[in-house]
Structure 1
Amino acid sequence: MLKKVSLALAVAIIGLAAVVASRPSTYRVERSITVAAPVDLPFGIVNDFHRWKFWSPWEAHDPKMQKTFDGPYAGPGAIYSWSGNDQVGKGRMTILESRPYESIRIQLEFIEPWPATNTTTFTYQPGPEGVTVRWAMEGHNDFMGKAFSLFADMDGMIGKDFEKGLATIKSLTETEAKNRLEREALLKARAEAEAAKAAQGAPPAPTAPAQAGPTTP
C-alpha cells in the first residue's frame, strides 16, 4: 500500500512539474492612455525619478519608504533605489535609454522579497487627440515564477497599478498644460497692454527743421 501511495505521489509530482515547465517563460504587462498635453510634459514626469513621487501607484503603499537617487539628475544613468514594507519591498531602477519625447527604457531590479530583473518601457506617440503614453513591463519566468503563475497572473496583479499611474500622469500633465496656456495668455495680455500704454504716452515724433529762405543783399 505504501509503495502505491509513494508511486502515486511521485507521478503527481512529475505531472505537476511538467505542467509548471509548460508555462510561458516570459510575460508582458502593458497599459496605455491618451493625454491632452504637449509631449514634453508626460515625458518629463517619467524621465525624472524625483517626480515619480507625484504619480507612482506604489508611493501610497508605503509613505515612509526610504528612497535614494544616484547618477545624473534625470535621463540615462539616473538611478532610483527604494526600500519599504512588504508591499513595496526593496529594489532599484536605472534609466538605460531616454529618447526625448519618444521613449524611456528602464531596468527594474527587485531585490526583496524575491530577486527579479525586468525591463520597463514608456513610449510616446503624438496624435490628433493628444499623446498616447504606453507603459509596458517585460520579464522572464524561472521555474518558481512559472509555478507562481499557476495561481496568480502578473497582468492581473499589476495591471491595475499601471492604469492608476497613467491616470495620475494624465491628470497632472493636463492640468499643467492648462496652466501653461493660462500663463502664456496672461503674459501676452500684459505685453500688449504695456505696448499700448507706451504708444499712448510716447512723445510726438520730431519734425525736420524749416529750410531758411534766400537772403537779399
Structure 2
Amino acid sequence: MAGPLNADTFRVERSIAIDAPAQAIFPHIDDFHAWGAWSPFEKRDPVLAKTYSGPASGKGAAYAWAGKKAGSGRMEIVSSEAPRKIVIQLDFTKPMTAHNTAEFTLEPQGAGTKVTWAMHGPATFMSKMMGLFFSMDKLVGAEFEEGLASLKRLAEQKADAVSA
C-alpha cells in the first residue's frame, strides 16, 4: 500500500494487527534503545556503530548510526503522542543523502492494535533514477513488513507473559 504522492514525493507504508494494547507496543518504538529487538535495519550490519543523544525516549531522542552495510545517518523523534503516534526525522548521509519522515501510528482494534509504519519524503533526482531499476516500495516495504512482524512477536510475547 504505497506509491508516489506526486512526481516529486514518495510514500511507503505497511500495517499489521498486533494482539496487544497500544500502551504495550508504544515503548518499543518510542525508545531507540529498544529497536535492536525488532528493527530489521539493526540486524543488517553486525558492526553497526550507534550513538544515542537527547532524552532516552520521546520527543528529542536521537540515534545516529554508521556501518559498512547500513551506511550512515541519524533519526530524531520530532513528535511523540503516547500511545498513538510517533514522527521521526530520518536523515541518511551514506551511501547517499536523503531527508525523509518516518511515522508510526497505533490505532485500537478491539483488544489489539493496528500499527502502521510509513516513510515519506522528496523524490530526489537520484531516487527517481534508481526507481527505474527497483521499486522503493518493494525494497523498503519488505523491510517494514519484517520489522512489523518482529514487533508483533515481541509485543505479543510480552502481553502473554503479563496475562499469564
Same fold? TM cut 0.5: yes
1:25 & 1:101 partners in 2: Cα distance?
32
C-alpha root-mean-square deviation of aligned residues, in Å?
1.1
Deviation at 1:146, TM superposition (A): 1.5
Q: TM-score, normalised by structure 2?
A: 0.94
**TM-score, structure 1 length as denominator?**
0.71
Higher helix share: 1
- Residues 90-111 of structure 1: CA deviation (Å, up to 9, x unaligned): 0000000000111000000000
Q: Which residue of 1 aligns with 2:15?
A: 32
Contact 1:91 1:111 in 2 (8 A): yes
Alignment gaps of 5+ in structure 1: 1-22, 183-217
Count matched residues.
159
1:129, distance to aligned residue in structure 2 (A): 5.1
The letter of the residue matching 1:156 is: K
Please name the residue that 1:47 is paired with. 30
Q: Are residues 1:135 and 2:117 paired?
A: yes
Question: Does the CA-based 8 Å contact 1:34-1:129 persist in structure 2?
Answer: no
- Larger strand proportion of the pair: 2
The residue type paired with residue 102 of structure 1 is: R
Cα distance in structure 1, aligned partners of 2:29 and 2:101? 15
Shift, 1:144, TM fit: 2.2
The one-letter code matched in structure 1 to 2:103 is: T
* Residue correspondence of structure 1 range 1-217 to structure 2 within 5 A: 24-85=7-68, 87-128=69-110, 130-182=112-164
**Amino acid of the structure 1 residue aligned with 2:11:** R
1:161 and 1:142 map into 2 onto residues whose CA distance is: 21
Choose 1 or 2 for highest CA Rg: 1
Percent sequence identity over aligned pairs? 45
